[in-house]
Amino acid sequence: MPTLREVTAVLDGLYDPEWADDWDAVGTVAGDPDAEIGKVLFAVDPVQAVVDEAIAWGADLLVTHHPLYLKGVTSVSASTPKGRIVHDLISNGIALHTCHTNADSPPLGVSESMALALGLTDIRPLQPDAAAPVDKWVVFVPRDAADAVAAAMHTAGAGAIGTYDSVQFQTEGTGSFRPLNGSRPAIGTIGSVEFVPEIRVEMVAARRLREDVRAAVLAAHPYEEPAYDVLEPAERASERGSGRVGALSTSMSLHDFAQHVTASLPAHHSATRVAGDPSRTVSTVALCGGSGDFLLAAANAAGADVYVTSDLRHHPVSEHLEAPGACAVIDVPHWAAESTWLPVAATALTDRLTGVETRISTLVTDPWTAHVASKR
């Protein structure tokens, strides 16, 4: 069986903790990194009922979307509800790992999972993130030193693209130079022009690694004055981003679409609220898993016919609907929207790691247990 360290490495690869908001608390909350993990339970909330479910199933790891703690504490005494959760997890050998805002925006994240659950096609970020800036490195190296310089750059982190590393391109050419008085040439003699068979080594590197890569080039290169270029390619949109927008395979009325949304999300005891003309035609759908009123304007700008999210407040929706051509709005329970991520994350884990069994919690942890519709 894999260890907790190996399981969380896969999860961190899918949902990098560096993508989390500054205020968030993600990652491993409890557990021995060397402990073997055979059973993993996925749930939205790390509440007592879910922990009891994990204990009853014999889980080794509980992965939740919502954090257990968002603020620092000075005690995890079992006399408090959250302290009791920590006590029960540790005493039953169950680790806890959280993927929260780091799982909201990437592929296979919360918003994309919700879009897939609604059957949307042509899915793309509603508000794309800017891709992490990269440098393009071009280094000219004598032929017999090219591999050593490339290896040093790779060790410094250069040459990583997506799920590949050690990426480079080499071309052959001829370099020339004349050493002057005071130089200490590795090749050639002072005062004479030298022509040397050289390799042009090209690769990309995250811009944050620029000085690390530069240091690697200078340390590994045999020349006293290495020739290299550092270029800044045009920025491109990331695959990550807030919310998603996509198309329905068949247009329908807002009334029917609201029914479709309710049927597509996990069953719950709360309410789906709709703002807009029920007869309006819906073809393009924008959405955001979790609390998403900050994307109302983006939904309009994307040409959406309807925007689906959770936790909408009166004033933002009222002001949104006053704008000419405003899209309709559907508010769904926070828990139901984010539950769509659980099977996607579980499948992504087992696709990348053998030896683990996963289960999706069957508990509805939406805090709202009923709703009463007005008959007036």
Give how far Cα 22 sits from Cα of 25, 170, 349, Å.
Answer: 8, 40, 25
Whether 156 and 274 map to the same domain: the answer is no
Q: Which of 209, 231, 253 is the last residue of a domain?
A: 231
Whether 269 and 311 map to the same domain: the answer is yes
What pLDDT score was predicted for residue 237? Answer: 73
pTM higher than the cut 0.85 = no
- Report d(CA 47, CA 54) in Å as an integer: 11
Please report whether residue 197 resides in a domain.
yes
Q: Based on the structure, what is the number of domains in the chain?
A: 3
Q: Is the pLDDT of residue 192 over 80?
A: yes
Model confidence pLDDT, tens digit, residues 112-171: 999 999 999 999 999 998 778 899 999 999 999 999 999 999 999 999 987 799 999 999
Please report whether residue 227 resides in a domain.
yes
Q: Which of 180, 207, 231 is the last residue of a domain?
A: 231
Whether 84 and 164 map to the same domain: the answer is no
Average pLDDT for residues 271-295, to the nearest whole number?
96
Whole-number percent of the chain with pLDDT over 70: 100
Whether 264 and 121 map to the same domain: the answer is yes
Please report whether residue 342 resides in a domain.
no
Whether 49 and 88 map to the same domain: the answer is yes
Please report whether residue 352 resides in a domain.
no
Please report whether residue 354 resides in a domain.
no
What pLDDT score was predicted for residue 236? Answer: 75
Whether 217 and 81 map to the same domain: the answer is no
Q: What is the CATH number of the domain that holds 80?
A: 3.40.1390.30
How sure is the predictor about 376, in pLDDT bands with cuts at 50, 70 and 90? low
Give how far Cα 370 sits from Cα of 151, 243, 270, 334, Å.
Answer: 61, 28, 6, 15
Q: What is the CA radius of gyration of the chain?
A: 27
Please report whether residue 193 resides in a domain.
yes
Residues 47 and 365 sit within 8 Å (Cβ to Cβ): yes
Whether 119 and 145 map to the same domain: the answer is no
Full domain range(s) for residue 139 = 134-231
Whether 169 and 42 map to the same domain: the answer is no
What pLDDT score was predicted for residue 131? Answer: 77
Q: What are 358's strand-pairing partners?
A: 40
Bridge-based pairing of strands 281-291 and 227-231 is: unpaired
What pLDDT score was predicted for residue 37? Answer: 97
Please report whether residue 343 resides in a domain.
no
Question: How many Cβ atoms from other residues are within 10 Å of residue 233's Cβ?
Answer: 11
Whether 245 and 332 map to the same domain: the answer is yes
Please report whether residue 267 resides in a domain.
yes
Q: What is the CATH number of the domain that holds 223?
A: 3.30.70.120
Give how far Cα 283 sits from Cα of 115, 124, 163, 242, 310, Å.
Answer: 13, 15, 34, 20, 20
Model confidence pLDDT, tens digit, residues 206-252: 999 999 999 999 999 999 999 999 999 987 777 899 999 999 999 99
Whether 22 and 155 map to the same domain: the answer is no
Whether 140 and 123 map to the same domain: the answer is no
Within 13 Å, how many C-alpha atoms sit on residue 185's CB side?
17
What pLDDT score was predicted for residue 47? Answer: 97
- Report d(CA 239, CA 14) in Å as an integer: 12
What pLDDT score was predicted for residue 17? Answer: 95
What pLDDT score was predicted for residue 163? Answer: 79
- Report d(CA 280, CA 259) in Å as an integer: 14
Q: Which of 57, 84, 102 is the last residue of a domain?
A: 102
Contacts of the segment 366-375: beta carbons below 8 A, 24+ positions apart: 366/268, 366/269, 366/270, 366/333, 366/334, 366/335, 366/336, 367/335, 368/268, 368/269, 368/270, 368/271, 368/333, 369/269, 370/269, 371/269, 371/270, 371/271, 373/271
Whether 141 and 123 map to the same domain: the answer is no
